[in-house]
Amino acid sequence: MPLPILLLAALAGQPGGMVATNTAPQTVAVPAGRPLRSLVPEANEAPADSLDIRISSGSELLWEGRVRVGKPGASLTQHLFQSEPPGCPPGRFDGSVHQSVSLTVQRLRYSTNAAGVFTYPVRVGWERPALPGGCGGAGTRSVEIREDVELRPGERAVLRGDVGLQVEIRRR
């Protein structure tokens, strides 16, 4: 007898050991008015969705583009390192300015109904110079939005965060 089977057989004979059982499937009661998650269509099997995304703060466009979100989701990180604009006060980080934008979008495994509504967990982060005017002498500040968005084809959602951060998402 192979070792794993021998070990299982030995454990099954011990008090509190493993015992193979055949049991009927359990029935789960669902409260009235609560939707069951539909297994059709599964997000892992459905074709990837195209999402148009625009990330901005006030009138400043931080990133805009289209991503395809299927089984693996989509992710973007964009860094900009540059010299300070003229007229910045001296500081420990003077001379250098850093700004970054990050985006992660996924699609949950199951549609919530047969009409093709999917839930998309969205995470957007923005790091920018702490001083006004784009000066880097005081380091950086960051803001983040984490939110789940339900979208049908053709629908649009707008997420708003601190310091004017805004994310517009449209499912094609």
Is the pLDDT higher at 113 or at 87? 87
pLDDT in tens, 10-19: 444 545 444 4
Q: Do the Cβ atoms of 53 and 66 come closer than 8 Å?
A: yes
Tell me which of 21-25, 32-36, 115-119, 136-140 is least confident. Answer: 21-25
Beta strands 74-83 and 165-171 are unpaired
Q: CA 61 to CA 13: how far, in whole Å? A: 68
Beta strands 60-69 and 140-151 are unpaired
Tell me which residue has tokens 């998402």. Answer: 169
Tell me which residue has tokens 């991503």. Answer: 67
pLDDT in tens, 80-105: 999 888 888 776 666 788 999 999 99
Nearest Cα residue to 123 out of 169, 79, 84: 169
